[in-house]
Homo-oligomer: A and B are copies of this chain.
Amino acid sequence: MIETPYLLFLGDAPDMLAAKVAIGIRDWRPENALGQLRLPGCGADLGLPDMTLAEARAAGVRTVVVGVANRGGVISPAWKKALVMALEEGFDLASGLHNLLRDEPDLRAVAEATGRALHDVRVPEVAYPIANGVKRSGKRCLAVGTDCSVGKMYTAMAMERDMRAAGLKATFRATGQTGILITGDGVPLDAVVADFMAGSIEWLTPDNDPDHWDLIEGQGSLFHISYSGVTLALIHGGQPDALILCHEPTRTHMRGLPGHALRSLAELRDTALPLARIANPACAVVGVSINTQHMTEAEARAYLDGVETETGLPATDPYRFGAQKLVAALAAI
């Protein structure tokens, strides 16, 4: 649906965490990420060529993707001028923000005048059912985190990559805007109406071959009071056979919630597993995924060794060291 390749719009993102969408596209579909467009004050840098709109057109870019996720999902007035220019220069726009491109009168007017498309991937396009809890064929794995933005999507993406490389049947199932922008398909779970959250995940992960694994993108955290309900709907709608615990050890408090201390991997296991077994009594915790981006390689390896000793589970940073340990753990259940 969304024409590739992309120019990744970073706006005035204060830091790299705010550029999560763009980073995901760069890392998992690098062939689609030709360049970045940054405004004054932007504190993020993807390491891609900085391109003007003219340069992007010369390079073959078809769509400008808003690669920034704000708290609250607002389209900043500071971005408007650049986005209007992009439409005028002949690019489509794509965004996963809560605040829709189509709801901005100026963007809508220019898009209509120029015949360009506005893709709001956050908007659910499907009338999802209410979850029925019926067991489906095939296997499902879900990454759950001690916090938001700790690497759940990367974990599932890396497992898909390594499983496919090993000749196994695996499908990444996107539940957020980045995943949908990367794969072109999925459920924008944050924007689904409450009653249909779990049903949307049943819809996303239907019956499949007995040896096929759905690798479901996690959202939020059971410990993050702003989004914990979304996480539980994902656990109960996904009916996972396997859980991967995800953690970012250098964080000092829950993202966006000063005063809320980070919980441990053991607390996550003891909280998530009984809840998952309500939907699937056979569910097991099979491994740990650590986001070691703020550690040296030696620190990372020492930390992973410690986690394996403490939890008795295989632990890796799947982005840094590969997901093979987690793939092997799935094969064992």
Can you spell out 12 A-B residue pairs with CB atoms less than 8 angstroms apart? A98-B195, A132-B226, A133-B226, A189-B194, A190-B193, A191-B195, A192-B194, A194-B233, A222-B232, A225-B278, A228-B275, A229-B233
> What B residues does A194 contact at CB under 8 A?
189-194, 197, 229-230, 233
A67 to B301, CA, bound (A): 61
The answer on a CB contact under 8 Å between A199 and B228 is: no
Question: Copies of this chain, how many?
Answer: 2
Contact of A225 with B190 at beta-carbon distance under 8 Å, contacts A98-B195, A232-B232, A271-B274 already known: no
Q: Which residues of B sit under 8 angstroms from A225, Cβ to Cβ?
A: 131, 133, 198, 236-237, 239, 278-279
A137 to chain B, nearest CB (A): 16
Chain B residues in 8 Å Cβ range of A278: 222-223, 225, 228
Interface string of A222-250 (1 = CB under 8 A from B): 11011111111110110100000000000
For A81, what are the chain B residues with a Cβ–Cβ distance below 8 Å?
A: none
Residue numbers in B under 8 Å from A231 (CB-CB): 229, 232
List the B side residues contacting A133 at CB < 8 Å.
225-226, 257, 259-260
* Set of chain B residues within 8 Å of A132, measured between Cβ atoms: 226, 256-257
Is A41 part of the binding interface, using a Cβ–Cβ cutoff of 8 Å?
A: no
* A interface, size bucket: 35 or more
Of chain B, the residue at the smallest CB distance from A219 is: B194
> When chains A and B are docked, how far (Å) is the Cα of A256 from the Cα of B233?
17
Q: Which 5 A-B pairs have the closest CB atoms?
A: A229-B233, A225-B236, A229-B229, A131-B226, A190-B195
Q: Which of A72, A133, A192, A232 has the most chain B CB atoms closer than 10 A to its own CB?
A: A232
Could you say which residues of chain B place their CB within 8 Å of the CB of A222? 232, 275, 278
| Interface residues in A183-232 (C-beta closer than 8 Å to B) | 189-195, 197-199, 222-223, 225-232
Q: Chain B residues near A236: list those with CB within 8 A.
A: 225-226, 228-229
Minimum CB–CB distance for A296 against chain B, Å: 32
What's the Cα separation between A239 and B189 when bound, in Å? 24
Q: Report A21 CB to chain B, min CB distance, Å.
A: 15
Q: Mark A8-19, 1 if CB is under 8 A from B, else 0.
A: 000000000000
Min distance, Cβ A110 to any Cβ of chain B, angstroms: 25
Query: Given A223-B278, A274-B271, A275-B222, A197–B257 Cβ distance below 8 Å?
Result: no
